[in-house]
Every structure is written in C-alpha cells, then in structure tokens.
Amino acid sequence: MNKQQPTLLITGGAGFIGANFATYYLEQYPERQLIVLDKLTYAGTTEHLQEVMHLPNFLFVQGDVADTHVVHQLFQDYQITGIIHFAAESHVDRSIQDATSFVTTNVLGTHVLLHAAKTDWERKGTLKDNRFHHISTDEVYGSLDEDGMFSEETPYDPRNPYSASKAGANMLVRSFGYTYGMNIIISSCSNNYGPKQHQEKLIPTIIRHALHGERIPIYGDGQNIRDWIFVVDHCRALDQIYHHGKPMETYNVGGRNERTNIEMAEQICNLLDNKIPDHQKPEQLERFSELISFTRDRLGHDRRYAVDDRKIRRELGWEPNVSFQQGLQKTIDWYVDKWIPIQL
Ligand SMILES: NC(=O)c1ccc[n+]([C@@H]2O[C@H](COP(=O)([O-])OP(=O)(O)OC[C@H]3O[C@@H](n4cnc5c(N)ncnc54)[C@H](O)[C@@H]3O)[C@@H](O)[C@H]2O)c1
C-alpha cells in the first residue's frame, strides 16, 4: 500500500454489502487503492473479502468507526480522498431488543468519521473535492400502505430504533454539507439480497431452515412487502452515485421488485425443490414449502416499503441488470455451496 497515493476508505467492508462492493470496486478499478475499516462484529468476517485480501493495493484494518483514535490515525497515515460509509448495526430485530450499539455505531460512529474527514480535508484544502458517501436505507422514510412510493423528498419518518439511528446519521451527514461545505452524498436503498449476507436475515434464514428441515419462520401473516434488489446491482448504483452524483443530493436505489414475505419464502422453496436431489432432502419432506410457518409479528413491523428510483435512472443512467429469477438462483447456489456442498 502506497501511503502517498489517493485511497478510498470503505467502512463496514467485511459485512454483506460492503464486502460485495469492495470486491466489485477492485475488479472495476484494479489500479486504485482501497482500505476497509471494519470492527468485525458478529456480522462481519474477512472471509467475505477473500477475493481481495491478498492484493497489494488493498488493506484491511480491524477497528471501530466510533473510535476517534483509530479513525484519526488512518487519516494521518494514508491519503484518504473519499469515504463510502457502510458500517452500521443493521438488524431491525436486534435494535428492538436493545438499540444502544445502534446509536453508538450508526450515529456516533458517523459523526467520528465526518469530523475526522472534515478536519483532514479542510487542512489540505480538499473539502469540496473529496467525497463522503453515506449508505442509507429506504427504512428512514417509514412505512407505506398499498399505494405510493418513497421519493427523495419524502420526509423521514423512521418507525424502529434501527431506522431512527440511520435517519439520525443522514441528518448529521447533511448538516456537515450545509455547515462546512463538505462534498457529501447519500444513497437510500431498498432490501438487498445475494451472497455474503449474514445468516440471521430473511433470505438466508429461509434457506438455512429449509436445508435443516426446520420450520421456516415468517412474521405475522406474511403479507409485509419489501422491494428487493440484487446486491451487485446496488454496487453498480453506488459506483455511479459516488463518482457522478451531485453533491448534497440523495439518490434512491430500488429494484422495482416488490414481494410479500410469503411469496419470497415460496419462491425460494420452489428453487430449492429443483436444486436439492431427493436423497439430500430432509426426511419425509416432499416440498420445502411444507416447512413454512407463521410466527408472532415483529413489534412495529412496517407494512410496505417501495422506492421511487426515477432520479438515479434519469440523472445517472443506472438500472438493475440482474433479474429476480437470476439473482435468487445465484443467491441460493452460494448458500447451498456454503452449507451443504452437494454432488449433483
Ligand atoms: N442489507 C440491506 O438490505 C440494506 C438496505 C439498505 C441499506 N443498508 C445499509 O447498508 C449498510 C451495510 O448493510 P449490510 O447489510 O451490509 O450490513 P451488515 O450487518 O451485513 O454489515 C455491517 C458491517 O459493519 C461492521 N460494523 C458494525 N459496527 C461497526 C463499527 N462500530 N465500526 C466498524 N465496523 C462496524 C460489521 O462488522 C459488518 O462487517 C448499512 O449501513 C445498512 O444500513 C442495508
């Protein structure tokens, strides 16, 4: 790693989206330098970075974004000319149990990064050139009924501690743009799916329970609707936003792919029925969908999310290019290979 060369800092790059992005970024720009700063909480692992760990222009640093010393040291040691800030506590259910770490990482940690970047870039006179890109979520906008979509102008109305902490972080990021003239940008994406997601999230949970022949838990009546996007399509959108988006703007990223949770579970079960040979299926099971069962609903469960993504399509020419069928098949293949390497 050349300490004088411009370097992008990615936080949370050992997690699901950050790791997919780090890999994507160095494939697209093999000559550039990249540092990943990640605390390696339960949600992160360097295994997710195996494609890039060995590269001379990649550095992994284990550390906490809320640790002022660690973050300031990185700015001292390297020429950080841009940040894409993924690091967050991200699981809604955990935030409902106890939101302390959500406030510390998502709000305080974002402030530590903003402050360190502002101090370093102001000193070097590069505050307007160097970009701070905050990765946000459509959940900051609240919940929808059957109609309508969240646009970039929809006022924030977070309904659970996770989304409240992300909305708080967005507010701080914007305030650093208005107050100090930092070159900030925010992207708000709908639900991602794909390889490398932690097993506690909906899609890996459905696959894991199915493969083990265990009940597949679906909250409430299963009619909650999410918009799903394949993670690599999100990475392509982030590439466009980071490089070509207008400062101070928010860009919504969506898949135009709304599904109820029960529909998602059934689709995955059908694909598993086709993929797993009978002798490897759990005993006495004809179809994986027999395992689906409803559980008590999540507290404050948002009914529907859907984003209006016309702005990124119009201004940056982005659109998803992985169909739901293809994306889901790739996701299932990745988890099945990881959990039960089968010989077909
Ligand atoms: N997964 C989605 O569907 C989705 C949708 C929209 C937005 N987002 C946002 O995208 C970002 C990444 O989400 P994800 O699904 O990849 O999350 P994830 O939970 O899979 O990964 C989070 C990563 O951040 C790291 N981390 C946590 N606390 C940290 C800290 N204090 N310091 C340094 N690293 C820390 C973890 O170790 C982990 O590697 C988050 O900001 C999330 O709010 C996610």
Question: Which of the listed ranges 113-122, 144-153, 212-221 does the model predict with the highest average pLDDT?
Answer: 113-122
Residues with CB under 6 A from ligand 1: 11-12, 14-18, 38-41, 43-44, 64-66, 86-90, 105, 109, 135, 137, 166, 189, 191-192, 198
Separation of alpha carbons 306 and 77, rounded Å: 42
What's the CATH code of the domain at 69?
3.40.50.720
Within a domain: residue 190? Answer: yes
Within a domain: residue 106? Answer: yes
Range of the domain at 84: 6-194+231-256
pLDDT of residue 145: 85
Within a domain: residue 340? Answer: no
CA of 87 to the centre of ligand 1 (A): 5
pLDDT of residue 297: 84
Pairing mode, strands 6-11 and 33-38: parallel
pLDDT of residue 283: 83
Within a domain: residue 220? Answer: no
Which residues are catalytically annotated?
A: 138-139, 162
Residue 213 in this model has a pLDDT that exceeds 80: yes
pLDDT of residue 122: 98
Within a domain: residue 285? Answer: no
pLDDT of residue 192: 97
DSSP codes joined into one string, 181-250: --EEEEEEE-EEESTT--TTSHHHHHHHHHHTT--EEEETTS--EEEEEEHHHHHHHHHHHHHHSPTT-E
pLDDT of residue 298: 85
- The pLDDT confidence band at residue 343, using thresholds 50, 70 and 90, is very low
pLDDT single digits (tens) 234-270: 999 999 999 999 999 999 999 999 999 999 999 999 9
| Mutate which of 9, 10, 11, 16 for ligand 1 pocket (most atoms within 8 A of beta carbon) | 16
Residue 340 in this model has a pLDDT that exceeds 70: yes
Closest C-alpha to 286, from 300, 299, 276: 276
Residue 287 in this model has a pLDDT that exceeds 50: yes
Within a domain: residue 287? Answer: no
- The pLDDT confidence band at residue 89, using thresholds 50, 70 and 90, is very high
Which atom of ligand 1 is found nearest the CA of 162? 43
**Mean pLDDT computed over every residue of the chain:** 95
Residue 162: alpha-carbon gap to chain centroid:
13
Within a domain: residue 69? Answer: yes
How is residue 215 written in tokens? 């009940």
- The pLDDT confidence band at residue 22, using thresholds 50, 70 and 90, is very high
Residue 344 in this model has a pLDDT that exceeds 60: no
Domain tally, the chain: 1
Within a domain: residue 223? Answer: no
Residue 104 in this model has a pLDDT that exceeds 80: yes
